[in-house]
Amino acid sequence: MKKLIIKAFALVILVSAITIACKKVPDGFLSPNIRYEEIPILVPQGIVKVSTALTLDGSAMPIKVKLLHVYDRATGKVVDDIFSKKYTIKVWTGLYDPKVDNTLEKINAKRKDSLVLPISINEFSGQLEANFATLNIPLGEYEFDLEVSNSAGSKVYPKIGRFNLNPAAPFEIPGTGRQQAFKVGAETTIKELVPTVISVKKLSDTPDKIVVRVLDKNGVAFNAANGELARRPNAGNAPGFLQTLDIYSLSAANFADRMEFVYGTVPFPLASLGNGFNYYYRIPTQFVHFDDPTLPDGQYTCNIRFPFRIFVPGTYEVTVTVPGVTRR
C-alpha cells in the first residue's frame, strides 16, 4: 500500500512537470519605463534632425516602434492629419562628392524625388527623424504616442515623447572669422590680428547662388577680378591650398567688387572636405596696408578665414570685413 502511494505521488509530480513544461513561458521583457532622454526634442524647421534613440530600460531587443498619434500640446487636439501627409523632396541614392559631382546633371543622377513624411519615428530605434519637408508643418509644440513591440508583446506608451518645431535660420556661421599676417618668403612668420567680421543675409529664394564681398576697414571691396583675393597655400611647406568656396560650387566667377558661386544642393556644403566649413583666402601684399606699424607695406600678406553654411535654397550675400586693413 505504501509503495502504491509513493508511485501515485511520483506520477502526480511527473504530470505536473510535463504540464509546466508545455506552458509557454514569456520570452524576454518589455519595460513599462521606456522613455526618451531628450524632452523636448528640439527640431529646427527645414533642417535635418535625428534625435537620440529610446532608452529601453532593459527591454529585450529587437524592438519595433510604431507612431500612433500626434497632439498639439497647446490645445490637446490630435493632429495626425498634419503629420501623415507626405511631401516630395530630393533623396540621395549615391555618395555625393563635390570634386566629382560638379554639374547639376551629375548631382541629379545621384538623387531622386521621393514622397516622405516630414517627421517620422525610426521603427528600430524610436529615433525621431525630421527633414526639409518640415517647412510645410506649423511651428509649435507637439507630443506623441508610441506602440513598442518585442518578443514579450506590445505596449502603448501614451504621450511618451515631445518635440518643439522651432523657426530656424536658413544659414549658419559655424565658427569665428580669423585674420593673420604672413611674412612674404617666410610663411612660418605669422602674426595673429583682429578677426574678420562676418555678416550674412538672404537676398531671394532663387537662384541658388552665394555672393561674397571682402571689405577693408573703410568698406572698400577688394577686387577679386584683379587678383586681390587669391587662394591661400597650406601652412608651412605642405603642397596645395586650403579650401575655398569654389571647390564645392558648380561654378565661380570673380568681379571687381565680389565673388559669386553657384551651388547645386543643400545643405551647402553637404559635407566638409576638411577644415570644417571654413574658407580661406589671401590678399597679396601689394594690395594691402596694415594699421599695425610692425607690418610694413610689401612684406606681409593678409590671410583671412570665414565660416558659412546654407540649409535652404536661395541667393545669399556674405560680407567679410577685415579690420585694421586698408586696400591699396
The structural domains of the chain, with segments of one domain joined by +, span 41-166, 171-327
Report which of 257, 277, 171, 261 is spatially closest to residue 214, judged by C-alpha positions: 257
Residues 41-46, mean pLDDT to the nearest whole number:
96
Q: What is the pLDDT of residues 180-212, one digit of tens each?
A: 999 999 988 999 999 999 999 999 999 999 999
CA distance 89 to 133: 7
Q: What percent of the chain has pLDDT over 90?
A: 81
* Topology of the domain covering 41-166: Immunoglobulin-like (2.60.40)
Beta bridge partners of 164: 42, 141
Residues 251-263, mean pLDDT to the nearest whole number:
97
pLDDT at 127: 98
Average predicted confidence (pLDDT) for the chain: 91
Query: Residue 131: pLDDT above 80?
Result: yes
Three-state DSSP at 4 gives helix
The dihedral sign for the CA sequence 169, 170, 174, 178: negative
CA distance 265 to 258: 22
Whether 120 contacts 144, CB under 8 Å: no
